[in-house]
A and B are shown apart, each in its own frame.
Chain A
Amino acid sequence: MLSLRERLGLRLQAAIARCLALPTYYLTVLWFRRFRGYRVPEMNRIREAFREIRAQGSEPFIICANHLTMIDSLLGIWVLAPGWRYFFGLGCYPWNVPERRHVRASLFFRVGCYIGKCITLLREGPQEGKRKVMLKLKHLMSRGQSLMIFPEGGRSRTGRINAEEFSYGVGQILLDTPAARVLCLYLRGKGQEQYSNLPRHGEEFYVDLKVISPASKSKGLRAVRDLATQIIGQLKAMELEYFGMVDARR
């Protein structure tokens, strides 16, 4: 169980994130649009779809996204809703769980991650640290907070989702918070062939959303693996659909 200090720490972080949600969001969007030239042609359709999905219930989301660049969570937040919606409906402003080694690389990243609702995780670190992060996520989701996670456990090294070797963490989170809604988000720059730190300049993004209800008749670790496998399977299906459309256009 989380200590009072840990729970208060999370509430403080959420409050600071809320206060800074609008400037951080719109400065990020300014950087995306003006300095990186990023475009999402179907932004309105995606935001409308997400708005309709949100209206279907009050349970928090586990937003499960594919992972190709270091800014995928920022891109995901951008495409799903305008900044003001995160300010007024903070439950849908998702927490993130980046790798601690990447975040520690600079003060800018550390501050950015704190105000961007991140809880860092040392993926190959001790089990105790992972358990603590899981407790924090469970606590946050019990309070209606959403989470964005990359079920692969890292960027797709081949540029495609690896449905053979992936992390099972998302399965444990879902097992701990069965009421959560699983929103699969497939987001990819149309010129993105491999993984990278940033999408290329002037990138145009393809986005697809799908809500799924993973379930398992098993218990414990077997259920964890089942749930994670179903989520990765859905993301893989969305990826195949994307490449099917790309091939059809050639």
Chain B
Amino acid sequence: MLSCGLDIGTAQTKCVIIDGNKIVQGRGIVHSGANLARASRHALKEALTEADCEEYDLTIVTGTGYGRAAIPLSHKSATETSCHAIGSIYRYPGSRTILDMGGQDMSAIRIDETGAVLDFAMNDKCSAGSGRFLEALPDIVGMPFEEIRTIELEKTEPLRITNACSVFAEQEIINYFEHGEMVENILGGVFISLARRGASLLNRVGIEDEVTFTGGVSQVKGIARALSDLIEHDVNAGIDGVYIGALGAAILGLKGSHNW
């Protein structure tokens, strides 16, 4: 049995294929762009290649994310809130509080030991502190995302980025450059600025150990570290955090089978 989860986010589309024992067999990730159906097919193709199987081998496809309604090949769908909860409790069984920072949305979710959602809060009209800003960052600072992602906060002397608005924060960064500040120190400030918005949202639902950081932004080591410092809790985070929603969708797809 193979279950596929497709998470169509505003920035990236992620796909995870798991077997009946919830073991990951394949993953794919592409930019969402304007054609969400095409993005979902491309992400699926990547995952199928890694899993060494064909589309007809999939028992069930479950969609999530803001574009879930646009997936022609899904059998069922679930909200990203539920999927991040299920994915987190599977990946980090001690998870009780989750911060999901995606392309435009940010959610803080409190869950119980089964992964059931107890409370959640989302960013509202403003997407400050979301992945969109990180997408723009390589162009602004002249450094590839892969390099930004690995910068360690403790090796920087963070400058203070005060603007809540991503657009104005970009202006603030450029001003720092004009004053001859080092890119690592500017990025240290950006990490703290973004983490502060996540911490604020976490405080709205209440923080209980363990805290798990998911979504595309969670791949950035410096932000995960800044978040941990701000909330004074250890944070589960890693390079696979971007796939947690798709993983949760794939696991939800198993619901009802003997493997659930």
The judgment on whether A and B are partners is: no
Which residues of A pack against B, CB within 8 Å?
Answer: none
Which residues of B pack against A, CB within 8 Å?
Answer: none
